[in-house]
C-alpha cells in the first residue's frame, strides 16, 4: 500500500493543476446538484420490525387518505381568569381564527373546530384547533407558516392566550456562530503548530472543500434518499474534524521530508506513502464504524452513518491527492520563514536543526512521558478513577426522542405543550393509538366486539385517563382507538403503560383472534429506545472486537490492542456520563446553552460509540506505532515510550485540540440532537486523547514492559503484514537510515525491516511540526 500511495503522491504533485481542477470541478458539480435539488422530505422515523411501525403501515392500508405524513399544528386558546372559552366573545374570536386558518393557505387540508370536535378542557378555559396540511413540514411555504402565525392575532387582540404547537413550524437546524469559532480555533492551532500561514491554511482549505462536496452531495440526494434534516450537519461536523486532522498529518510529514533534504516531489511521495498509509487505516476505521450502524436496522441512523462515512472517504481521498497537489503550488512556503532562510545557506541543515531544537514542545512531551514512567501506577489510577467518577451519571441514563416538551420554554411550541398539559392532562400531548385488526378474528367474533373489549379492559389500566370510542374503516374490519395516558409522553410511567396495553391486547387476541397493535408518536419513541437499547451491546461488542483485530494486525501484539479497546470503552462511558450530567441532570446547563433538560436522545449513545471508536483508533495509530518501531529497533520498553512521545505528542495534541474545537463549535446549534452530539464527541475526544492515550496508554505500557509487545509465534504467521509505516517503500528506495518523522502520522505496523539510527535533524523537525 505504501508503494502505491508513494506513486500517487508523486503523480498528484507533478499533475497538480490537473488534480486541483478535478476537485474544483467535483465541488462545482455537487454545488449545482444541491442548488437544483428538490426540497427535502420530512424526517423519516420508519422503524422496521417494531409493533408501532407495523400498526402505522396497517393504518396506511386500512384508512387510506388520512395523509399521516402531512404537517400538523395545534392552535391552543386559553381564556383569561374568570372567563370561559364558551363565552360568546371568546367563541367568536376562536371561530374567526378557525376561518382564517382554513382560508389562509392552499396547503391546508382541514381545520377541526374546537366546539364541533368538543376539544375543550373540563374547566372550560382551554381549547384547541387541530390543523392538518396536505404537505410535510419541510414542504410548507413561508406564506403558509406566516398565515398560521397571523391567524392567532385576532384572538390575541380579544384577550385570549394563543400558542401554536406541532411540526408545522419546524425549522432547519441552525448552528450559530460557535461553528465559526471552532474553525477559527482550529486555524490558530494550525498556525502555532506549523509556524507558517501557508502550511496552516492547507488543512483548512482542503477540509472545507471536502465538506463542501460531501454536504452538497447529501443535499442533492436528500429528497431522493429521504435523508433527515440533521444528516448534513453531522456530516459537516465529522468531515471537518477528520479532514483537518488527516491533512495535518501529511503536511507535517512532508515538512519533515523537506527538512531531511528530499526534493519536493520526492518529499510529497514519501509523505503520502508513509503518513498517508496511516491516514488510510485511520479513515478506514471511522468508515467501518459508521457503516456498521446499519446493523441496528433503523433507516434514519443508517443513512446518517453512510452519509458521514462518505464524507470521511472524501476527506481521505483529498488528503492523499489534493494535499500533495497544493504542496506543489506552495513550494518552500510551507516552512517557517527562518527555516526557509536557513535552507538557502550552505549550512542549511545544521542551521535548521538548531532552530528546530530550540522549541519547548518536544521537551514537554518527553518530560511528561518520563514522569509517567516514574509513577505509572499513580498516573494510571488517577486517570482511571477520574474517568470512572465522570462516568457515574451514565448509570442513570434515560433514553427518549424529543417532542415539543423538550423545546425551550420561551418557544410557542413549548407554551402550547404546557397549555395542553394544564388543560387536558400531561398525557394529552402523547396519545396512544390502538389499531384493532379483526380480519383474522375467530368464528363468532367481530371487530366491533373485539374493539369494545379492548376499550373496556385498557380503560381499567392504571395511568389511563381517557379511551375514545372506536372508529372503523369502510370495510369494518379495522378499528382505531385513542388512549390518553395520565403521565407525560416521555415518562417511565407512560412507557410502562405501553407494555401493559400490549400485554393486555395479547390476551384479548388469544380469546378473539383480533390483533391489537399500539402505535402513535409516543409508542414509536418507546420502540425506538428499546431497539437501540437492545442493539447497543451487540454493536459495542462488534466495534470493540473489530478494534482488537485491526490493532493486532497493525501492532502485532495481543496486549496493546486489548489495552486500546478497554481505553476506548473508558472514554465512551465517561463521555456518556458527562452528557447525562449536562443534558439530563442539568449540571452546567447554562454554560452550554441547554435550555431544557430531559432524556438523552435515543440514537446518541450508539452513534457516539461508532464515531468515537474511529477517532480513538486514529490517535492510537498515530502515537503508539512510533513506540512500537522504537522498541523493535532495540530501545528498551521505557525508552520506546519516551521516543513515541518525543516524536508524536505535539502533532497528536494539535490534532485533538482541532477536533475538539470543531465538535464543540456545534454546541451552539438550535437542534437539541446536534447540540448533544457536538458536546458528547468533543468531551469524548478530550478524554480519549489526553487521559487515555496520553496517560493511561504510557502507564500501562510502562507496567507491561516487554510483554506488551508479545505475540505468539503461530499468530505471527497467520496475521497479515500491513505496511502502515512504509518499510517496504524505504527498502525499495534504498533508505538505510530508517524513518525520521513518524510522529507526523505514520507509524510502523510491524516494526520490522528497518535499520536504526534516524537522522536527528529530521527527527527534531518532525517533533516541531
Classify residue 765 by burial, with Cβ atoms within 10 Å: 0-12, 13-18, 19+: buried
CB 593 within 8 A of CB 730: no
Quote the CA–CA distance of 4 and 10 in Å, as a whole number. 10
Q: For 719-757, write each residue's pLDDT tens digit.
A: 887 766 556 666 677 664 444 333 333 333 333 333 333
User: Could you list the mean pLDDT of each consecutive 10-residue stretch along the chain, which spans 769 residues?
Assistant: 84 92 94 78 66 87 69 89 91 91 86 87 91 77 85 84 84 62 82 79 89 89 74 84 87 82 85 82 83 82 87 93 91 71 49 40 76 94 95 88 75 89 89 90 83 92 89 89 89 90 91 90 86 83 80 84 87 93 89 81 82 78 78 85 83 86 81 83 91 92 91 86 65 55 38 35 34
Same domain, yes or no, for 335 and 439? no
Cell output for 445: 367474533
Residues 573-601: b if buried by 16+ CB within 10 A, e if exposed: bbbbbbbbbbbbeeeebeebebebebbbb
Three-class secondary structure of residue 470 per DSSP: coil
Q: Is residue 743 part of a domain?
A: yes
Same domain, yes or no, for 280 and 145? no
Q: Is residue 45 part of a domain?
A: no
Same domain, yes or no, for 371 and 499? no
Where in 134-280 does DSSP place strands (E)?
161-165
Q: Strands 600-601, 399-400: parallel, antiparallel or unpaired by DSSP?
A: parallel
Taking alpha carbons only, the member of 335, 360, 338 closest to residue 196 is 335
Same domain, yes or no, for 188 and 158? no
Q: Strands 126-133, 478-485: parallel, antiparallel or unpaired by DSSP?
A: unpaired
Same domain, yes or no, for 380 and 245? yes
How many domains is the chain partitioned into structurally? Answer: 3
CB 166 within 8 A of CB 407: no
The label of the residue with cell 483485530 reads 549
Three-class secondary structure of residue 233 per DSSP: helix
Domain boundary among 526, 554, 588: 526
Classify residue 389 by burial, with Cβ atoms within 10 Å: 0-12, 13-18, 19+: exposed
Q: Is residue 61 part of a domain?
A: no
State the angle between helix axes of 51-62 and 521-555 in degrees (0 to 180), rounded to the nearest 10. 130
Same domain, yes or no, for 417 and 438? yes
Quote the CA–CA distance of 210 and 238 in Å, as a whole number. 11
Taking alpha carbons only, the member of 600, 544, 549 closest to residue 575 is 600
Domain boundary among 135, 165, 195: 165
Residue 343: predicted pLDDT? 58
Quote the CA–CA distance of 739 and 624 in Å, as a whole number. 15
Quote the CA–CA distance of 716 and 676 in Å, as a whole number. 43
Quote the CA–CA distance of 618 and 494 in Å, as a whole number. 42
Same domain, yes or no, for 532 and 521? no
CB 155 within 8 A of CB 96: yes
Residues 6+ apart with CB under 8 A from 43: 228, 229, 300
Quote the CA–CA distance of 559 and 136 in Å, as a whole number. 53
Domain boundary among 114, 141, 165: 165
CB 52 within 8 A of CB 435: no
Residue 518: predicted pLDDT? 93
Residue 55 phi, psi (nearest 5)? -65, -40
CA angle 167, 140, 36 (to 5 degrees): 125
Tell me the CA end-to-end span of the chain in Å, nearest whole number: 25
Residue 452: predicted pLDDT? 92
Same domain, yes or no, for 238 and 262? yes
Same domain, yes or no, for 598 and 625? yes
Residues 499-515: b if buried by 16+ CB within 10 A, e if exposed: eebbebbeebbeebbbb
Same domain, yes or no, for 139 and 257? no
Same domain, yes or no, for 709 and 743? yes
CB 397 within 8 A of CB 142: no
Quick one: how far is CA 381 from the chain centroid?
A: 30
Quote the CA–CA distance of 43 and 294 in Å, as a whole number. 18
Quote the CA–CA distance of 158 and 144 in Å, as a whole number. 23
- CATH number, position 87: 3.30.70.1430
Same domain, yes or no, for 139 and 209? no
Bridge partners for 432 per DSSP: 483
Taking alpha carbons only, the member of 721, 654, 740 closest to residue 694 is 654
Taking alpha carbons only, the member of 763, 697, 377, 387 closest to residue 561 is 697
Quick one: how far is CA 318 from the chain centroid?
A: 22
Cell output for 667: 454546541
Residue range of the domain that includes 564: 2-36+174-399+527-768
Amino acid at each position: 500500500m505504501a508503494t502505491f500511495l508513494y506513486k500517487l503522491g508523486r503523480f498528484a504533485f507533478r499533475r497538480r493543476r490537473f488534480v486541483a481542477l478535478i476537485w474544483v470541478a467535483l465541488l462545482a458539480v455537487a454545488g449545482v446538484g444541491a442548488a437544483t435539488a428538490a426540497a427535502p422530505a420530512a424526517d423519516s422515523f420508519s422503524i422496521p420490525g417494531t409493533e408501532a411501525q407495523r400498526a402505522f403501515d396497517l393504518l396506511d392500508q386500512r384508512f387510506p387518505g388520512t395523509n399521516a405524513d402531512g404537517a400538523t399544528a395545534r392552535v391552543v386558546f386559553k381564556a383569561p381568569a374568570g372567563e370561559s372559552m364558551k363565552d360568546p366573545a371568546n367563541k367568536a374570536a376562536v371561530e374567526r381564527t378557525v376561518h382564517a386558518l382554513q382560508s389562509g393557505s392552499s396547503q391546508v387540508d382541514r381545520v377541526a373546530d374546537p366546539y364541533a370536535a368538543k376539544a375543550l378542557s373540563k374547566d372550560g378555559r382551554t381549547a384547541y384547533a387541530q390543523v392538518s396540511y396536505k404537505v410535510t413540514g419541510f414542504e410548507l411555504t413561508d406564506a403558509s407558516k406566516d398565515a398560521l402565525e397571523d391567524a392567532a392575532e385576532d384572538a390575541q387582540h380579544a384577550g385570549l392566550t394563543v400558542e401554536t404547537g406541532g411540526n408545522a413550524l419546524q425549522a432547519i437546524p441552525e448552528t450559530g456562530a460557535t461553528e465559526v469559532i471552532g474553525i477559527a480555533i482550529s486555524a490558530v492551532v494550525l498556525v502555532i503548530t506549523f509556524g507558517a500561514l501557508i502550511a496552516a491554511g492547507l488543512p483548512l482549505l482542503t477540509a472545507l472543500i471536502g465538506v463542501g462536496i460531501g454536504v452538497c452531495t447529501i443535499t442533492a440526494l436528500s429528497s431522493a434518499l429521504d435523508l433527515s434534516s440533521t444528516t448534513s450537519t453531522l456530516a459537516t461536523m465529522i468531515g471537518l474534524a477528520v479532514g483537518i486532522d488527516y491533512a495535518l498529518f501529511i503536511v507535517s510529514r512532508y515538512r519533515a521530508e523537506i527538512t531531511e533534504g528530499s526534493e519536493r516531489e520526492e518529499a510529497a511521495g514519501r509523505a503520502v506513502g508513509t503518513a498517508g498509509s496511516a491516514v488510510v487505516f485511520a479513515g478506514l476505521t471511522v468508515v467501518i464504524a459508521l457503516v456498521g450502524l446499519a446493523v441496528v436496522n433503523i433507516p434514519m441512523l443508517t443513512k446518517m452513518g453512510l452519509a458521514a462515512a462518505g464524507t470521511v472517504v472524501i476527506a481521505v481521498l483529498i488528503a492523499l491527492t489534493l494535499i500533495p497537489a497544493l504542496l506543489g503550488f506552495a513550494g518552500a512556503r510551507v516552512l517557517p520563514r527562518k527555516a526557509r532562510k536557513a535552507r538557502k545557506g550552505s549550512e542549511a541543515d545544521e542551521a535548521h536543526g538548531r532552530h528546530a531544537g530550540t522549541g519547548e514542545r518536544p521537551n514537554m512531551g518527553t518530560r511528561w512521558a518520563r514522569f509517567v514512567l516514574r509513577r505509572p501506577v499513580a498516573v494510571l489510577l488517577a486517570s482511571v478513577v477520574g474517568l470512572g467518577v465522570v462516568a457515574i451519571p451514565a448509570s442513570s441514563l434515560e433514553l427518549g426522542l424529543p417532542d415539543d416538551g423538550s423545546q425551550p420554554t420561551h418557544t410557542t411550541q413549548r407554551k402550547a405543550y404546557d397549555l395542553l398539559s394544564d388543560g387536558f392532562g400531561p398525557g394529552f400531548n402523547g396519545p396512544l393509538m390502538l389499531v384493532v385488526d379483526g380480519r383474522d378474528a375467530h368464528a363468532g367474533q367481530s371487530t366491533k366486539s373485539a374493539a369494545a373489549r379492548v376499550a373496556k379492559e385498557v380503560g381499567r389500566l392504571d395511568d389511563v385517563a381517557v379511551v375514545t370510542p372506536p372508529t372503523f374503516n369502510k370495510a369494518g374490519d379495522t378499528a382505531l382507538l385513542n388512549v390518553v395516558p395520565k403521565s407525560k409522553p416521555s415518562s417511565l410511567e407512560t412507557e410502562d403503560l405501553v407494555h401493559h396495553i400490549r400485554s393486555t391486547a395479547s390476551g384479548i387476541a388469544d380469546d378473539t383472534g383480533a390483533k391489537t397493535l399500539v402505535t402513535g408518536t409516543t409508542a414509536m419513541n418507546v420502540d425506538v429506545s428499546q431497539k437501540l437499547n437492545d442493539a447497543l451491546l451487540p454493536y459495542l461488542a462488534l466495534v470493540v472486537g473489530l478494534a482488537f483485530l485491526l490493532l493486532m494486525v497493525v501492532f502485532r501484539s495481543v496486549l496493546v490492542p486489548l489495552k486500546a479497546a478497554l481505553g476506548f470503552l473508558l472514554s465512551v462511558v465517561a463521555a456518556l456520563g458527562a452528557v447525562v450530567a449536562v443534558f439530563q441532570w442539568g449540571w452546567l446547563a447554562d454554560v452550554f446553552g441547554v435550555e431544557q433538560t430531559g432524556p438523552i436522545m435515543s440514537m446518541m449513545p450508539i452513534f457516539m460509540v461508532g464515531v468515537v471508536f474511529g477517532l480513538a483508533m486514529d490517535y492510537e495509530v498515530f502515537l503508539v506505532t512510533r513506540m512500537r518501531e522504537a522498541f523493535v529497533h532495540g530501545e528498551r520498553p521505557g525508552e520506546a515510550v519516551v521516543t513515541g512521545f518525543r516524536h508524536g505528542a505535539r502533532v497528536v495534541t494539535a490534532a485533538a485540540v482541532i477536533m475538539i474545537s470543531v465538535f464543540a463549535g456545534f454546541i451552539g446549534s438550535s437542534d437539541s440532537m446536534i447540540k448533544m452530539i457536538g458536546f458528547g464527541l468533543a468531551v469524548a475526544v478530550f478524554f480519549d486523547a489526553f487521559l487515555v492515550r496520553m496517560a493511561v496508554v504510557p502507564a500501562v505500557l510502562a507496567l507491561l514492559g516487554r510483554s506488551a509487545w508479545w505475540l505468539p509465534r503461530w499468530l505471527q504467521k497467520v496475521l497479515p503484514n500491513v505496511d502502515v509505516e512504509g518499510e517496504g517503500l524505504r527498502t525499495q528506495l534504498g533508505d538505510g537510515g530508517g524513518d525520521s518523522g513518524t510522529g507526523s502520522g505514520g507509524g510502523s505496523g510491524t516494526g520490522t525491516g528497518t535499520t536504526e539510527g534516524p537522522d536527528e535533524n529530521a527527527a527534531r523537525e518532525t517533533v516541531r511540526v
